[in-house]
Structure 1
Amino acid sequence: MSSEIRSLEVRPAEVSDAVAACTVLRRSIAECCGVDHKQDPAILAAWLGNKTPEMVASWFASPTNYSVVAVQDGVVVGVALLTGAGKLALCYLLPEVRGQGVGKALLERVEAQACSWGVKALQLHSTATGEGFFAKCGYIDSGKVRSPYGVETVFFWKQLEAGAPAADGSKRKRFCNCNSA
């Protein structure tokens, strides 16, 4: 498989993307996160319990969330969701596109959106599977936290840059002139 990204588009998620995004979530968790759920049917069922098309559609429709999908050759291959409180709640890929830059493209898009909202730092709970990815992207490991469904996660956070470009490419607005040149 080529390591190049072919026709990748990262765009805001629409409710009509919910079924495809749900497939991404469920496949990523089931197929890529075995080290996290240890193939335990109870843990896997609890983790997947709210990963339904209806629930994903409600997350996408929420005005307090910013959701994006990565579309490659017309197929949704990744999904990310940022809450208004600055939490990266989702960042998942289809197994076959891991290592191709899709996750980085999703992360850059939600970080830009967070900057445009004035969020100073992002936080997330990563699986062991995603730990290396988030560390490589500049997130700081702040310790272990057990999830409600029984998976040990790593709490990560990242300080966002002042003046970083917003999701639309414009510069983030400053609230005062204290640091302006």
Structure 2
Amino acid sequence: MGIEIRKAVPDDAFAACDVLRRSIAECCVADHRNDPDLLKAWLGNKTPQNVASWFVSPANYVLIAERDGVVVGVALLTQAGKLSLCYVLPEALYSGVGKALLQGVEAQARAWGVSVLRLNSTLTASNFYERNGYILAGKEMSCYGLECDFFWKKLNASDACDPAPRKRFCNCSAQ
């Protein structure tokens, strides 16, 4: 069936929390390597109460993906232009849910006037972001001790780099 993308409401917090926790635990094994301390740190703030508070913060824009009335994905964009969350249930991987969420937050970022979106990606999701036009800019450590890939993407077509070569001004005299 189809995917519905909509703005999150506080009543979605329990289902969204389940998406976050299952996605991290089941899909990101390459990242946490079943290390109980790392997993505990990563999941520590993924509680329904915290998730609900993220939904109502005026600095955040949160989207929910539903399929057949079931929450299968969640994405969170901050007004500072950071994609803080983009997770889908294991059974929803490779079905267009993540891409639909990403397109939704990119549209909101543009509406806010954000020209560059940035994010820290897990190893598990890095290829997804590359496939969707994000540029890998290096490694960073997350607050819970996980090495992440730092990505960015220029959102406004008018700001995109011109692929045509430009003449550079040179102050030397070539004779």
TM-score by structure 2 length? 0.89
Match 2:155 to one of 142, 153, 160: 160
2:37 aligns to what? 42
Asked if 1:95 is matched to 2:90, the reply is yes
- Structure 1 CA distance, aligned partners of 2:23 and 2:37? 17
Asked if 1:55 is matched to 2:54, the reply is no
- Structure 2 CA distance, aligned partners of 1:39 and 1:146? 18
Q: How far has the Cα of 1:7 moved from its partner?
A: 2.4
Match 1:22 to one of 17, 22, 27: 17
Q: Deviations over 1:35-78 (max 9, x none)?
A: 10010000000000000000000000101100000000000000
Q: Deviations over 1:15-52 (max 9, x none)?
A: 00000000000000000000100100000000000000
1:13 aligns to what? 8
Q: 5+ residue gaps in structure 2?
A: 159-175
1:149 aligns to what? 144
Q: How far has the Cα of 1:162 moved from its partner?
A: 4.3
Q: What is the aligned length?
A: 158
Q: Deviations over 1:88-124 (max 9, x none)?
A: 0000000001000100000000000000000000000
Asked if 1:129 is matched to 2:129, the reply is no
Match 2:106 to one of 104, 108, 111: 111
Question: Which letter maps to 1:107?
Answer: L
- Structure 2 CA distance, aligned partners of 1:64 and 1:143? 26
Give every structure 1 segment of 4 or more consecutive aligned residues whose post-TM-superposition deviation is greater than 3 Å. Answer: none
- Structure 1 CA distance, aligned partners of 2:57 and 2:144? 23
Kindly name which structure, 1 or 2, has the bigger radius of gyration based on alpha carbons: 2
- Structure 2 CA distance, aligned partners of 1:8 and 1:162? 27
Q: Cα RMSD over matched residues?
A: 0.8
Q: 5+ residue gaps in structure 1?
A: 1-5, 164-181
1:79 aligns to what? 74
- Structure 2 CA distance, aligned partners of 1:19 and 1:96? 18
